[in-house]
Amino acid sequence: MKLTSVDMLAQRRETLVQRTAALAREVRVCAGTACVAAGAGKLSDAIQREAAAQGLVLAVDGDAADVEATVRLVNTGCQGLCQAGPLVRVLPQDAFYCGVRPKQAARLVSEALQNNAVIADWCAVSPQGQRYATRAEVPFYRHQQPIALEGCGAVAPESLDDYIAHGGFAALVRALEMSPEDIVQTVEDAGLRGRGGGGFSTGRKWRIAASASASERYVICNGDEGDPGAFMDCAIMEGDPFRIIEGMTIAARAIGAQQGFIYVRHEYPKAVARLDKAIVACREAGLLGAGILGAGFDFDVEIARGGGAFVCGESTALMRSIEGLVGEPRANYVRSVQEGLYGQPTVLNNVETFACVPAIIARGAAWFAATGTPGSPGTKAFCLVGKVAHTGLIEVPMGTTLRQVIFDIGGGVLDGRPFKAVQTGGPSGGCLGEAQLDLPVDFDALTAAGSMMGSGGMIVMDDRTCMVDVAHYYLSFLQSESCGRCVPCREGVAQFCHLLDTMRRGTAKPGDLDRAIRLAQDIAQASLCGLGKSAPNPFLSAVTHFRAEFEAHINDRTCSAGVCRDLTVFAIDAQNCTGCGLCAPACPADAIAGAPKQVHVIDAQKCTGCGACRTVCRDDAVRALPRNLPCN
């Protein structure tokens, strides 16, 4: 049904809310990428089969029109606690279940949906064995405050009706009642800074684009999320696509644009499919296209597919890619808000930024600015991954400390090992050590510490992480992703990788560390775009906080973490070894011998330092030792 006026939208929402309120219960099955990989799709199908077998009528996803239904099944976007999937949440009791399998669907339907009982043995459990009766009690969720992610895990991502029932497009209605200047001022007063990494004022960016003299203007959503370990934007695009469209439409209203593009990386096919369905649904409903809601406002959105190039996350390279050109950055003295896509003023924000806009317009600038810090208002979504007990998608108020994120939400370092470092901001970010754990997470504090917010990747590392190897990994990634247009990035990063590789192999010379620092400074100063300028960040921050580790690689030819193969051999601690035999078949060099239930031995002459034995050992019996290469 096409909604030709604000009143029609309000009537539609009221009808949907009434129908949904009449349902006794709602079961939400996480259909995020991790849970789907764990079997969430099969679980959802099994629930529907079991409900039919037990005579329970389900309303599935956005289908609230079935008046006979008593329970609603919603296949949601990512619910956050990715490692524990498939996740199931049952309302109104807020029961939260982890690792639910298709074979358990009969019990879920009979006990939780038919009889409103809480299945205690499925609930999340603390390390001390405490069962959490509700989702709100789980520490992973208790310390979060979702704004950009508030629809993920709640809304059926392929249902426009469900989005409307949850308040969707109410912010657009409010924006249509406001002048463009008032919209810009509200976003500026809220203090919303771009969540894509740069942290530039969103309201200021919109104001410059709106004031530029031009016949056309464009709005672009950057969904080219290429940072290793980051999937926040993917989760929003897959789990709450209508929210992105609403945020972009409000931005278009503010700057006077009639066309928008969502640039999605090639590796996100589900996000493309969900966004495409959402765009079609909005066009059919009159929420995109000509005369939106009868307000005389025209705006439409298209999807542009990325080709897999990391550099296309840079704004000017992204715009060239949309134009059908090679994705290369241009000189940054040309401002995209004045001369961007097709030479016209263009507002480009990332997915999370646009996801915050509807909440700001609907609830006001003061509401948003009351959360976070004065310099970084609001919240920030992160992907908490690596050597942390509870990995997943989170959103916390700006100013939350790294310690709170890693230990209160993440449950601390995996397997109780010592914390060593956390890397924030993706390949262009930095590595921070234990001394920085009480650092507040906001744009300015992270930058001052030598790291950056970035798009929101947060990778936790334990004592078995080598900082030289980490720096080499990120530099190698950026070397392969450089567009090659400018010499400092193309040649400088290659030389940089070579220097770090000599440290890993034990062939570095005295003075190479200082040489690498000077090279890093030159690359950062002379490169054309943000990729090259920020490429040295992981190395420079690691040297700042872990210089002794770099010096040990060069001067002593040792890797204390036991990661660098040319510097390491492994031995088995006889006191810890139980003779389980897991290490011997894992060794690719056939260097381990030992009878069952007897202490095993590693032949140091055969050991290649690969670390496979340490990876599989469950008793912490494998020790890394220096190979004692001769110094130059």
Single out the residue of 595, 592, 594 nearest to residue 570, CA to CA.
592
Q: How far apart are CA 621 and CA 602, in angstroms?
A: 12
In a domain, 148, yes or no: no
DSSP string of 280-324? HHHHHTTSSBSSGGGSS--BEEEEEE--S-GGGGSHHHHHHHHTT
Residue 461 zone, left/alpha/beta (φ > 0; ψ -120 to 50; rest): beta
Q: Give the residue-averaged pLDDT of 588-592.
A: 95
63 and 118 assigned to the same domain: yes
Query: 146 and 359 in contact (C-beta within 8 Å)?
Result: no
449 and 348 assigned to the same domain: no
Percent of the chain past pLDDT 70, that is, above it, reads: 98
414 and 525 assigned to the same domain: no
486 and 435 assigned to the same domain: no
Domain termination residue (choose one: 362, 395, 411) = 362
Residue 126 has pLDDT above 90, yes or no: no
Q: How far apart are CA 562 and CA 473, in angstroms?
A: 16
| pLDDT for res 428 | 81
| pLDDT for res 264 | 94
Single out the residue of 584, 104, 186 nearest to residue 367, CA to CA.
186
Q: State the maximum Cα–Cα separation within the chain, in Å, rounded to a whole number.
A: 81
114 and 209 assigned to the same domain: no
Q: Which of the pair, 64 or 292, is modelled with greater confidence?
A: 292
| pLDDT for res 515 | 93
| pLDDT for res 557 | 93
For residue 292, give the amino acid letter: I
In a domain, 481, yes or no: yes
181 and 129 assigned to the same domain: no
309 and 253 assigned to the same domain: yes
Task: Give the tens place of pLDDT for each residue, 206-248.
Answer: 999 999 988 899 999 999 887 777 889 999 999 999 999 999 9
In a domain, 145, yes or no: no
74 and 106 assigned to the same domain: yes
Residue 110 has pLDDT above 90, yes or no: yes
Q: Give the residue-averaged pLDDT of 468-487.
A: 89
Task: Give the tens place of pLDDT for each residue, 296-330.
Answer: 899 999 999 987 788 888 888 899 999 998 888 87
291: how many CB neighbours lie within 10 A of its CB? 11
Query: 490 and 482 in contact (C-beta within 8 Å)?
Result: yes
Task: Give the tens place of pLDDT for each residue, 515-556.
Answer: 999 999 999 888 888 888 888 898 999 999 999 999 999 999
Task: Give the tens place of pLDDT for each residue, 425-463.
Answer: 888 888 999 999 999 999 999 988 888 887 788 999 999
Q: How far apart are CA 78 and CA 369, in angstroms?
A: 26
| pLDDT for res 386 | 94
Single out the residue of 332, 347, 336, 381 nearest to residue 221, CA to CA.
347
324 and 436 assigned to the same domain: no
Domain termination residue (choose one: 105, 138, 171) = 138
| pLDDT for res 452 | 86
CATH number at residue 574: 3.30.70.20
Task: Give the tens place of pLDDT for each residue, 568-585.
Answer: 999 999 999 999 999 999
At what angle are helices 351-363 and 170-177 packed, to 10 degrees? 70
| pLDDT for res 67 | 60
| pLDDT for res 482 | 84
Phi, psi of 320 (to 5 degrees): -65, -40
250: how many CB neighbours lie within 10 A of its CB? 28
Residue 36 has pLDDT above 80, yes or no: yes
| pLDDT for res 225 | 85
Task: Give the tens place of pLDDT for each residue, 357-371.
Answer: 999 999 999 999 999
Classify residue 401 by its DSSP letter. Answer: B
Query: 284 and 290 in contact (C-beta within 8 Å)?
Result: no
Residue 293 banded pLDDT, cuts 50, 70, 90: very high
Single out the residue of 388, 361, 515 nearest to residue 457, CA to CA.
388
Q: Give the residue-averaged pLDDT of 578-601.
A: 94
Pairing, β 218-223 against β 259-264:
parallel
In a domain, 460, yes or no: no
In a domain, 631, yes or no: no
Residue range of the domain that includes 616: 565-626
Burial of 55 (0-12, 13-18, 19+ CB in 10 A): exposed
DSSP string of 87-115? PEEEETTTEEESS--GGGHHHIIIIIIIS
At what angle are helices 351-363 and 241-255 packed, to 10 degrees? 70
Residue 473 has pLDDT above 90, yes or no: yes
CATH number at residue 417: 3.10.20.600
Where is average pLDDT lowest: 179-193, 319-333, 581-595?
Answer: 319-333
Residue 343 has pLDDT above 70, yes or no: yes
320 and 179 assigned to the same domain: yes
In a domain, 299, yes or no: yes
Domain termination residue (choose one: 521, 556, 591) = 556
| pLDDT for res 629 | 65
In a domain, 149, yes or no: no
Phi, psi of 13 (to 5 degrees): -65, -45
In a domain, 184, yes or no: yes
Residue 632 has pLDDT above 80, yes or no: no
User: Is the N-terminal amide bond of 86 cis, ω within 30° of 0?
Assistant: yes
The total domain count for the chain is 5
Residue 333 banded pLDDT, cuts 50, 70, 90: low
Percent of the chain past pLDDT 90, that is, above it, reads: 78
Token pair for 255: 């700057």
Q: Give the residue-averaged pLDDT of 160-181.
A: 96
433 and 323 assigned to the same domain: no
| pLDDT for res 196 | 84
| pLDDT for res 542 | 92
Residue 129 has pLDDT above 90, yes or no: no
| pLDDT for res 326 | 85
Query: For the stretch 433-468, what's the b/e string if a residue is b when 16 or more beta carbons lie within 10 angstroms of its beta carbon?
Result: beebbebbbbbbbbbebbbbbbbbbbbbbbebbbbb
DSSP string of 463-499? TT--HHHHHHHHHHHHHHH----SHHHHHHHHHHHHH
**Distance between start and end Cα atoms, the chain:** 77
- CA angle, 354 then 283 then 152, to 5°: 40
Residue 563 has pLDDT above 70, yes or no: yes
At what angle are helices 180-190 and 241-255 packed, to 10 degrees? 120
Task: Give the tens place of pLDDT for each residue, 395-426.
Answer: 999 999 999 999 999 999 998 999 999 999 88
Mean pLDDT of the chain, nearest integer: 92
Contacts of 544 (CB under 8 A, 6+ apart): 450
21: how many CB neighbours lie within 10 A of its CB? 9
Q: How far apart are CA 162 and CA 156, in angstroms?
A: 6
103 and 221 assigned to the same domain: no
